Homo-oligomer: A and B are copies of this chain.
Amino acid sequence: MTAYTATVTVRLKEGVLDPEAETTKKALQRLGFELESLRSADRFELDVDAESTDAAAQRADEMAERLLANPTIHDYDVEVEPRE
């Protein structure tokens, strides 16, 4: 078994409204910052022990499907790195 950290990034699908991001963008502009747009996402770093990178990625993928992301409104991606 090797120790891995799987990073799952969960973002809203294109076209899904994100009023919190819109509010944050307007607040930044009110502070004088120039920016075109702002998107927010949730990032989960999961420490898992697994036989291989593929096994760790598969487990993280299942966790995203079952709990971390809502497939109706979210896209997600998974990255796996060995952990010291």
Cβ contact of A47, chosen from B37, B44, B59, B62, cutoff 8 A = B37
Interface size on A, residues (CB 8 A): 30
Q: Who on chain B is nearest to A83 by CB?
A: B36
Q: Could you tell me if A41 and B47 are in contact, using CB atoms closer than 8 angstroms?
A: no
In angstroms, how far is the closest chain B Cβ from the Cβ of A6? 9
> In whole angstroms, how far apart are the Cα atoms of A11 and B20 in the complex?
18
Is A52 at the interface (CB under 8 A from chain B)? no
Q: Could you tell me if A47 and B38 are in contact, using CB atoms closer than 8 angstroms?
A: yes
Is A42 at the interface (CB under 8 A from chain B)? yes
Residues in chain B near residue A46, CB distance under 8 A:
35, 37-38
Residues in chain B near residue A62, CB distance under 8 A:
33
Q: Could you tell me if A63 and B28 are in contact, using CB atoms closer than 8 angstroms?
A: yes
